[in-house]
């Protein structure tokens, strides 16, 4: 291969047709000779190692994931996505780029700020689901605690925006005045008597 030609990380073979299956004699001499060797780029015969041709499912998946990670990291639009990106994250990213979603910054009690993506006309419940999704992915990637009791979280904490308690799950975020890049805060609920 010359310096001007670049090989794509994932090259797919064309599909096999019934003509290819019935007339195998024409391809066998092109692929290998009777010693089990195949011609190299410069015409030299190189040996084919059969162990390289057979991959387990896990090995094949890891090669595909590595190739996808490489493609995503070099793409000018997708480079800032995390490794092992999920389809849901890509869809959120696309919706954000098209103006169909907003980013809401959620300040936790420990001061950490989470940037979550919510659809434009999202409700408080949509925001809660986005927080849950964000934290689940974050914990899975950091190999941290695997389970959070969200029922416990929502019983012990309120979401606040500019002094307003977001206590109606079905109410749209716009009715609370929440816009793109606004900050919502987790505040511990006080015990009611």
**Residue 109: is its pLDDT beyond 90?**
no
Confidence label for 27 from pLDDT (cuts 50, 70 and 90) = very low
The answer to whether 157 and 165 are in contact (CB under 8 A) is no
Nearest of 169, 156, 49 to residue 109 by alpha carbon: 156
CA angle 146, 147, 149 (to 5 degrees): 160
Please compute the mean of the pLDDT values over residues 151-174 and round it to a whole number. Answer: 94
Residue with the bigger pLDDT between 11 and 193: it is 193
Helices (H), 32-82: 50-53, 57-74
pLDDT at position 45 is 59
Summary mean pLDDT of the chain: 78
pLDDT at position 8 is 45
Please compute the mean of the pLDDT values over residues 87-97 and round it to a whole number. Answer: 86
DSSP letter at 175? Answer: G
Please compute the mean of the pLDDT values over residues 52-81 and round it to a whole number. Answer: 84
Q: State both tokens at 165.
A: 């308690």
- Highest mean pLDDT range out of 6-10, 73-77, 81-85, 96-100? 96-100
pLDDT at position 193 is 60
pLDDT at position 18 is 47
**Residue 92: is its pLDDT beyond 50?**
yes
**Residue 189: is its pLDDT beyond 70?**
yes
**Residue 184: is its pLDDT beyond 80?**
yes
Please compute the mean of the pLDDT values over residues 106-125 and round it to a whole number. Answer: 94
């Amino acid at each position: 291969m010359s310096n001007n030609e670049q090989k794509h990380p994932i090259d797919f073979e064309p599909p096999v047709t019934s003509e290819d299956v019935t007339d195998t004699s024409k391809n066998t001499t092109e692929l290998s000779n009777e010693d089990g060797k195949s011609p190299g780029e410069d015409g030299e015969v190189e040996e084919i190692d059969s162990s390289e041709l057979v991959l387990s499912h896990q090995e094949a998946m890891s090669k595909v994931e590595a190739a996808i990670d490489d493609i995503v990291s070099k793409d000018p639009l997708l480079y800032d996505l995390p490794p092992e990106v999920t389809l849901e994250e890509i869809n959120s990213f696309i919706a954000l780029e098209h103006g169909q979603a907003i980013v809401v910054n959620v300040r936790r009690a420990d001061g950490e700020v989470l940037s979550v993506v919510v659809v434009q006309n999202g409700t408080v419940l949509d925001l809660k689901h986005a927080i849950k999704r964000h934290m689940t992915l974050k914990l899975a990637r950091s190999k941290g605690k695997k389970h959070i009791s969200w029922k416990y979280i929502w019983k012990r904490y309120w979401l606040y925006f500019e002094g307003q308690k977001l206590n109606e799950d079905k109410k749209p975020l716009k009715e609370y005045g929440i816009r793109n890049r606004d900050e919502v805060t987790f505040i511990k609920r006080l015990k009611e008597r």
